Amino acid sequence: MEKPPLHGIRVLDLTNVLAGPYCSYQLTLFGAEVVKVEVPGSGDLARHLGPDAELNRSGVGASFLAQNAGKKSIELDLKNDAQRAEFEHLVRGADVLLENFRAGVLARLGFDWGRLREINPGLVYCAITGFGQTGPMSQAPAYDQIIQGLSGMMSITGTEDTAPLRVGFPVCDTVGGLMAALSISAALVGRARTGEGCFLDLSMLEASISAMGWAVSHYVISGVRPAPTGQQNATAAPSGTFETADGLLNIAANRQVQFEKLCGLLDRADLMTDPRFADREARKEHRDALNTELTRELRKRTAVEWERLLPAVGVPAARILTVPQAVESEQLAHRGFFTDVPFPGDPGRVVRTSGNGVLVNGAPLRPTGAPPLLGEHNAQTGEFADRWGGGGR
């Protein structure tokens, strides 16, 4: 790849932990120059989060390493007059300002949207919060699990006996970060036409509800209250998790032709003529009976065998992998999904960092450097401001 799509875009990143850093990591992968502005002495809370206590004590916890490769780090105390002036100089030359303080915090430090726009009319300012800048919950603190609960997500995860359950990874932080990156990219495209920046007020709660798809749309459009369905897909059958001779297999025969191909491969043409399974709605109504019949046949072969046979006839199917198995898959290796970068402060070690699943002109997006030590680029603060030219484009 010659120059990635966001080459030359300059981002001031005041964010902590995950949603914000995940957003700015996406911008980094697409080529933006991201400067983390961190609290002196402590920095991003993610520096102290992860399973390795020694890394946490050293300020390079696993949670930090995962989302911050390729960024720069400077320390600024925005309660200090002189350092606020330095920050203002940086804002003057930035394209994007990203923060995830509680609503109103940056304004109380003297940098509300009116002031930021006065400093730099072309600035794209994105504020990520749990609930948005306005409304009765705007001042409430929020972490991923809080949003999972309030969005209704937990209420439909698991089975009727086990719900509500937390999704096994910070999905609301991730969705919030992705929506922020999308919004910033869209705003930059708009600015290229008008020359004007904008203020993006991003609510993680709203972004998460937006991402819940049919679980929300079926209720708001059809009045159907979603219920937890465990490992089954409520919108189709057969679509869910099935037992094989040696393990579990996901099958998603959501289309009529896929159901017929499945029955043919299992040598169960009788299922296609059974009125209980004649079409999608009938199969959904008689899901348990259908699953019993299918499982009887699926237990005759291993999950690996079915994973080979079913997709070959056009039926989506695959085993359920552990995280280590998924990470080591041939598919990810073929696509160049992971990149090894130097470990911060120890070039003899490496950190394995993830991509984002996008190839640009056939090439994967990769971070260009190590995650930064806290304040590693303090001496370059003035250089950033001067090089950025003192005015967003």
d(CA 76, CA 85): 10
- Cα end-to-end span (Å), the chain: 24
Neighbouring residues of 193: CB distance < 8 A, sequence distance ≥ 6: none
Domain end, chosen from 262, 288, 320, is at 320
Residue with tokens 């600024």: 76
Residue-wise pLDDT for 29-77, tens only, equals 999 999 999 999 999 999 999 999 999 999 999 999 999 999 999 999 9
d(CA 91, CA 79): 16
Looking at the fold, whether 316 and 342 belong to one and the same domain comes out as no
Q: Are strands 359-360 and 363-364 parallel, antiparallel or unpaired?
A: antiparallel
Looking at the fold, whether 343 and 287 belong to one and the same domain comes out as no
Angle in degrees, CA 286, 292, 296, rounded to 5? 150
pLDDT of residue 347: 83
> Quick one: which of 25, 338, 64 has its CA closest to 180?
25
pLDDT of residue 356: 95
Tell me the catalytic residues.
173
pLDDT of residue 389: 75
Looking at the fold, whether 37 and 185 belong to one and the same domain comes out as yes
Give the other-Cβ count within 10 Å of 378's Cβ. 15
Residue 328 lies in a domain: no
Radius of gyration of the chain from its Cα atoms, rounded to whole angstroms: 25
Domain end, chosen from 320, 350, 374, is at 320
- Give 139's DSSP letter: T
pLDDT of residue 7: 95
pLDDT of residue 2: 81
Continuous H helices in 39-139: 53-57, 62-67, 81-93, 105-108, 113-119
pLDDT of residue 386: 85
d(CA 150, CA 203): 12
Looking at the fold, whether 33 and 121 belong to one and the same domain comes out as yes
Residue 220 lies in a domain: no
> What residues are paired with 375 via a beta bridge?
none
pLDDT of residue 392: 47
Looking at the fold, whether 151 and 33 belong to one and the same domain comes out as yes
Neighbouring residues of 157: CB distance < 8 A, sequence distance ≥ 6: 163, 164, 165, 166, 167, 228
Element (H, E) at 244: none
> Quick one: which of 72, 100, 116, 73 has its CA closest to 15?
100
How many domains would you assign to the chain?
A: 2
- Residue 4 preceded by cis peptide, ω within 30: no
3 state SS for 122-138: CCEEEEEECCCCCCCCC
Residue 218 lies in a domain: no
Looking at the fold, whether 159 and 262 belong to one and the same domain comes out as no
Looking at the fold, whether 198 and 77 belong to one and the same domain comes out as yes
Residue 204 lies in a domain: yes
pTM greater than the 0.85 cutoff: yes
Q: What are phi and psi of 368, to 5 degrees?
A: -100, 0
Residue 72 lies in a domain: yes
Looking at the fold, whether 285 and 374 belong to one and the same domain comes out as no
The residue ranges of the chain whose pLDDT is under 70 are 1, 390-393
Residue 366 lies in a domain: yes
Residue-wise pLDDT for 299-330, tens only, equals 999 999 999 999 999 999 999 999 999 999 99
Residue 222 lies in a domain: no
Domain that holds residue 67: 10-211+333-388
Looking at the fold, whether 356 and 299 belong to one and the same domain comes out as no
Contact status, residue 208 vs residue 53, Cβ threshold 8 Å: no
CATH classification at residue 359: 3.40.50.10540
Looking at the fold, whether 179 and 250 belong to one and the same domain comes out as no
Residue with tokens 């902590």: 16
d(CA 1, CA 362): 8
Domain end, chosen from 278, 298, 320, is at 320
Looking at the fold, whether 72 and 179 belong to one and the same domain comes out as yes
CATH classification at residue 302: 3.30.1540.10
Interhelix angle for 171-194 vs 19-29, to 10°?
50
d(CA 239, CA 212): 18
pLDDT of residue 1: 60
Looking at the fold, whether 185 and 308 belong to one and the same domain comes out as no
Residue 221 lies in a domain: no
Tokens of 164: 């509500």
